[in-house]
Amino acid sequence: MTIDRDKALGRHTVGTLDSKVALVSGSGRGIGREIALKLAREGARVVVNDLDEDVAIETARDIEALGGTVVAVVGSVTDPDFADRFVGTAVEAFGGIDIIVNNAGYTWDTVIQRMTDEQWDAILDVHLKAPFRILRAAQPVISAAVKSARTAGVPVPCRKVVNISSVAGLGGNAGQVNYAAAKAGVTGLTKTLAKEWGRYNVTVNTVAFGLITTRLTESPADGEGSIDIAGRDIRVGVSRQLLDAMATQIPLGRAGTPVEAAGAVYLLCTPESDYISGQTLVCGGGYTL
């Protein structure tokens, strides 16, 4: 039996996304990182991003170790100039855009009577306003590329947008009125853009995640966990007791992994999904609302 050493090491040979240019926001850690790695393994040239420079660079180096091509854009997706920098980097480095994955985000939970305007605005900004800005910045690039292809008489390739949502945006979740509202908004954004961008041969879909094991859901050993977002110390993590209770509601009986979550996004980036648009794919182990 002959062993393909490149495949054994996970190195890129020939993939379904060869020559594609993919932008993945929030790809320094967790699900976003696995999305970036998956797309790179399939041949895409990737623009990675994270708020933290160290993890963004680490993801970029791991993609390069696979034989992939990558550039990193460090910064918050909520910065007013971020969308133009993100899109501009893709154009400057790789000449265009084929795939956009709006993944960046975090949670900042409490019940409505305790939620401040700052909490509400922060979560709406990162989950809904930031994707809107990125897609708005990408429109002239995509439109110009389509016009050029049609003028030249060549086929217009199918481009892909995958917006990340959550089952909280479909059915609500106690203590997450800001997050649920933002993710519900992502559904509206997706369905509307699918109608607007169909003429460009762009498919626009949403992946709504159920319980996925990341730093936002893992139960810390000491029972407490937090992340720093723009100088804010935000508590994250779910107790082991609650995680176990949630798992009982999932037909597969467990939380998903970031690799599995990335696989759902990848499905909507492949040529096999070229006639699927305006849809929400639930990646939740069979969980239903």
The two structure tokens encoding residue 169: 């945006």
**CA–CA separation, 271 and 264 (whole Å):** 14
Contact 36, 72 (CB under 8 A): no
The closest of 137, 143, 273 to 205, measured between CA atoms, is 273
**CA–CA separation, 148 and 233 (whole Å):** 47
Query: Measured at the alpha carbon of residue 265, what is the angle toward residues 37 and 63, in degrees to the nearest 5?
Result: 10
- Whether 266 is catalytic is no
Among 179, 200, 266, 275, the active-site one is 179
Instruction: Characterize 177-192 residue by residue with b for buried, 16 or more Cβ atoms within 10 angstroms of its Cβ, and e for exposed.
Output: bbbbbbbbbbbebbbe
**CA–CA separation, 173 and 153 (whole Å):** 50
Query: Which of helix, strand or coil describes residue 217?
Result: coil
The two structure tokens encoding residue 219: 């139960």
Residues annotated catalytic, as ranges: 179
